[in-house]
Structure 1
Amino acid sequence: MEADINQMFTEHDIVPVLIDRAPLVFAKVAYRSKKLVDAGKELTPTEVRFEPKVEWCADPRVLYTLIMIDPDSPSRTEPSNREFVHWLVGNIPGKHVEQGEILVEYLATFPRSGTGYHRYIFLLYQQQCRNDYSEVPRVSGKNRTPRLRFSVREFAYRYSLGHPIAGNFFVAQFDEYVPVIISQFPASSEY
């Protein structure tokens, strides 16, 4: 039996803490490791190190925005960097994420040792029109600092995105791949 999306997003403190209302349906998020994101189940940083394929019931005539966040940075008990944005793509034509406007490049998860489980949340929004995202800084996969203290709620409001139409999430904790990810950042970049 498929998990109830509203129940899962509420039980994991996503609704109403980060967003006001749960998405309508689960998005399919598949990693190259053949691992699927499944409503709060655990995946490892090693399994999710490459950008996933995200699918949902998309209207080919509509544009979408995809956001992936970690609200538990640097830890769930002390989320002072809430929310850390791992991926942000706007003006996605229909289901073609790869043709969207990349605002924040995908960054693999890197929960620090001893910080416990982090939630990684994917949210899809249906846009009313083509959005002008020119004021949003473009962030490369090597840069952490502009990703800190993002707010899905404020971003959705600013760009009239409404409530998410699809979403999913997983949890992850430190594994041996995390130091590899961290080593790719400049020494001066803030966590």
Structure 2
Amino acid sequence: MLSYSVVASQLGGIPLAFAFSAAIGSQGLITMAVFDATGWDLTESFAVSSFGGLVVVYLYFQVPLMAILVLPAIMGIRRERGESALSLGTGRWRYLTDNLLPILSPAIGGAVLLLFANSFSAYATAYALSGGGANLVPILIGFFISGNVLTDQSFGAALATGMILVITLAMVLRHLLARRTTRWLQ
């Protein structure tokens, strides 16, 4: 599972867009196999270039990356905590909700913030899948700075500045949560 997570989390950009287009695009391998087997056209209910398709593609590499980011915090939990809680009569569910989740919540929150920053600034995958039709901030920045029909570099610069502020805020919050995580796990 760890090997798959490492490989899937590193697959991004144009190769990821091509892989999903080749698999579940309008003439993709899975799309054609489903149509041949059942007669159901998958593209009528799901398009890889739609917002839902972008969500599926982003989740493909964000979920394994989340596993990689949270795994060190999970591995850092001392076995003695669980043993002492269970010896005092705590059930597994209560140990999870009262002990593990408070300890892991800063690490999970920090990982979510990092994944947010990663997906918020991603450009190539969304642009390749949607052809520039998705209303995502990085695509809009590219459109307004180097658009071939309409250029508004000041609006593109304003969007880029706002994006930098959002990413900076996410990273500052992640840093604070990472400090709290190291304090809990020591």
**Which protein has the bigger helix share?**
2
Which structure is higher in RCO with an 8 Å CA cutoff and minimum separation 6? 1
The reply to whether TM is greater than 0.5 is no
Structure of greater Rg? 2
**Which protein has the bigger strand share?**
1
What TM-score range do you get, normalising by the shorter chain?
A: under 0.3
TM-score in terms of structure 1 length: 0.25
